[in-house]
Amino acid sequence: MTINPNLTAAEYTHTVIRPSEIDPYLDGDRDFIDDCAIRAELETPAAPGAGRVRDIIAKSLAMQTLSLAETAVLLRVDDPDLLAEMNAAALRVKKFVYDNRIVTFAPLYLSSLCVNNCLYCGFRQENKYEVRRRLTLAEIRRETEVLAGNIGHKRLIAVFGEHPASSTEYIAESLRTIYSVEAPTRCGVGAIRRVNVNAAPLPVEDLKILHEVGIGTFQVFQETYQRDLYAKIHPGNTVKSNYRWRLYCMHRAMEAGVDDVGIGALFGLGDWRFEVLGLVAHARELEAKFNVGPHTISFPRLEPACNAPLASGAGSGVSDADFLKLVTVLRLAVPYTGMIVTARESREIRNECVSRGCTQGDCDSRIGVGAYQEAGSEQEAAKQQFLLGDTRSLEEMVIDLAKKGIITSFCTAAYRCGRTGGCIMDLLKTGREGQFCKVNAVLTFREWLDDFASPETLEICRPVLEAEIAAIRDDFKPSFFKEFIAYYRRLENGERDLYF
Ligand code: SAM
Ligand code: SF4
């Protein structure tokens, strides 16, 4: 949809929102988020019995999505021994679906122009102190060269404020530019192979354009599933103030063929337990309507942001203990989904999240527009959307994970081979995607180590690499192992981007 960039905010809202792309998804005039039902689940005060909790854990281990009532039971567990059982089960679920891999990515901020007025965000339109910027294609190219050539990322999440100047055409052109970059590395060529997008909800015709350009995951956070709170923190007649336009954006994505979708809630705005049930309800709705649940769930905690009335204080309002509990509960409630813990969190909390079944995290992250080229400068510090809790480099994160026996995967094969949406869900639920991912993780890890790591890092990572290769030899047919080793040798000899 081409939008006149000179529209006022109200005209823009009217142009963007299409009731015809909301109403067909309603159940009569009701949403799949039933506030009363969720509140009723949360009002039960009694701590659950161990038998009931263990039955629910068994359902998770059988890879079944939990109901809202079952999820609410897990939220009520306070007994330390039962909580420890839940944490252990969460990690088992993760290992069954995703093995001992963590996927990394980096955020790439392309535009801080925004027509909305979210009270928690530094990019909100009323923040007159924010220096607005939208990257040109040449600047996008240069940012990508740093990410793919200097750091070694293979996956990005491209982040956009909502504005007529960062229209779908701009998003599509940005993706084309990012995919076209080939940056020289020590032993080969670096490239971004999967670009996920975090942008405003879009209509179906625009999502089809992004599908054609090769979008990875389309990610939109509902921020809060609580309707009354949603209205308060998204004031004015803005696009974002329309709860339903946002709530059904993943329905539209599925219709457009974008079947890897990422949902999320911003924790710290309201009752965190409501948001957990909202996310589970959203996952169940997508499963019921499209037979495909969310590819990823995100659970960012509110961070301090400049001139954002709801984010000017220090804490998010969700304690570390509650945050870790919600991670465990989400892992158990939606067993097949990828779970993203971002660099908003500290290194310690992120490590805890990994041991509770998170599967993805960003690192070496810069969260300002143009920030990778300006890394370390005062300009960069002034432009951050909010403050990061974990500023580890990619190499530091790789080392930390390797010391725990975890392999960092740079694999992007599933989506490039068409294993997305329902296809990948089935493979994940039955533990079969792990087979492709296991070999591709080793291949892409080796490629990254050769291109970007120091000799010391290579030595630290060697045991995890060798353990993975030994497991492939033991678990796969000899003929496949032979094929895999041939690929591995070709990589060692300088070939790049080999995968199954
Ligand atoms: N403009 C698009 C939107 O709102 O969906 C995408 C970009 S927006 C910068 C991406 C996400 O940043 C939001 O969905 C919100 O959850 C998160 N965010 C905004 N302010 C934040 C803050 N102060 N702390 C942590 N996350 C924040
Ligand atoms: Fe704009 Fe998104 Fe920030 Fe809201 S969260 S002000 S829509 S960039």
Q: Is the CB of 166 under 6 A from ligand 2?
A: no
CA of 449 to the centre of ligand 2 (A): 36
What is the β-pairing status of strands 101-111 and 407-409? Answer: parallel
Would you state the pLDDT for residue 429? 67
C-alpha pair distances (Å), 444 with each of 44, 252, 330, 449: 48, 33, 29, 9
Q: Is the CB of 123 under 6 A from ligand 2?
A: yes
Would you state the pLDDT for residue 430? 66
C-alpha pair distances (Å), 396 with each of 73, 127, 157, 357, 479: 38, 35, 20, 20, 36
Q: From 222, 276, 215, select the one nearest 251 (Cα to Cα).
A: 222
What is the β-pairing status of strands 215-219 and 183-184? Answer: unpaired
Q: Is the CB of 269 under 6 A from ligand 1?
A: no
Would you state the pLDDT for residue 47? 84
Would you state the pLDDT for residue 10? 79
Q: Is the CB of 119 under 6 A from ligand 1?
A: no
Residues with Cβ within 8 Å of 478's Cβ and at least 6 positions away in sequence, in order, are none
Token reading at 472:
């492939």
Task: Yes or no: say if 302 and 356 are a contact pair by the CB < 8 Å rule.
Answer: no
- Give the side-chain half-sphere CA count within 13 A for 417: 15
| Kind plus residue range of the DSSP H or E element containing 198 | strand 194-198
Q: From 196, 112, 200, 102, select the one nearest 157 (Cα to Cα).
A: 196
Would you state the pLDDT for residue 413? 83
Q: Where are the alpha helices (DSSP H) in 165-270?
A: 168-180, 204-213, 227-233, 243-247, 249-255
Report the distance separating Cα 221 and Cα 132, nearest Å. Answer: 22
Query: Per-residue pLDDT for the chain (500 aa), expressed as one digit of tens each?
Result: 667 767 777 788 889 999 999 999 999 999 999 999 999 999 987 889 999 999 999 999 999 999 999 999 999 999 999 999 999 999 999 999 999 999 999 999 999 999 999 999 999 999 998 889 999 999 999 999 999 999 999 999 999 999 999 999 999 999 999 999 999 999 889 999 999 999 999 999 999 999 999 999 999 999 999 999 999 999 999 999 999 999 999 999 999 999 999 999 999 999 999 999 999 999 999 999 999 999 999 999 999 888 898 887 666 689 999 999 999 999 999 999 999 999 999 999 999 999 999 999 999 999 999 999 887 665 555 556 667 889 999 999 999 999 999 999 998 887 777 767 766 666 666 656 556 788 999 999 999 999 999 999 999 999 999 999 999 999 888 998 999 999 999 998 888 888 88
Q: Is the CB of 158 under 6 A from ligand 1?
A: no
- Give the side-chain half-sphere CA count within 13 A for 280: 29
CA of 259 to the centre of ligand 1 (A): 22
Q: Is the CB of 343 under 6 A from ligand 1?
A: no
CA of 119 to the centre of ligand 2 (A): 9
- Ligand 2 atom with the smallest distance to the CA of 234 is 4
- Per DSSP, the three-state class of 191 is coil
> What's the pTM value of the predicted model, to 2 decimals?
0.95
Token reading at 143:
């940012």
CA of 166 to the centre of ligand 1 (A): 16
Would you state the pLDDT for residue 63? 95
Q: Is the CB of 223 under 6 A from ligand 1?
A: yes
Please, is 473 exposed, middle or buried when counting C-beta atoms within 10 Å of its C-beta (0-12, 13-18, 19+)?
Answer: middle
C-alpha pair distances (Å), 160 with each of 196, 220, 345: 11, 11, 21
Residue nearest to atom 7 of ligand 2 (CA): 116
Q: From 389, 372, 391, select the one nearest 380 (Cα to Cα).
A: 372
Q: Is the CB of 305 under 6 A from ligand 1?
A: yes
DSSP string for residues in 457-492? HHHHHHHHHHHHHHHHHHHS-HHHHHHHHHHHHHHH
Residues with Cβ within 8 Å of 3's Cβ and at least 6 positions away in sequence, in order, are 12, 15, 16, 164, 167
- The Cβ of residue 295 has, within 10 Å, a number of other Cβ atoms equal to 27
Report the distance separating Cα 75 and Cα 46, nearest Å. Answer: 11
Would you state the pLDDT for residue 312? 76
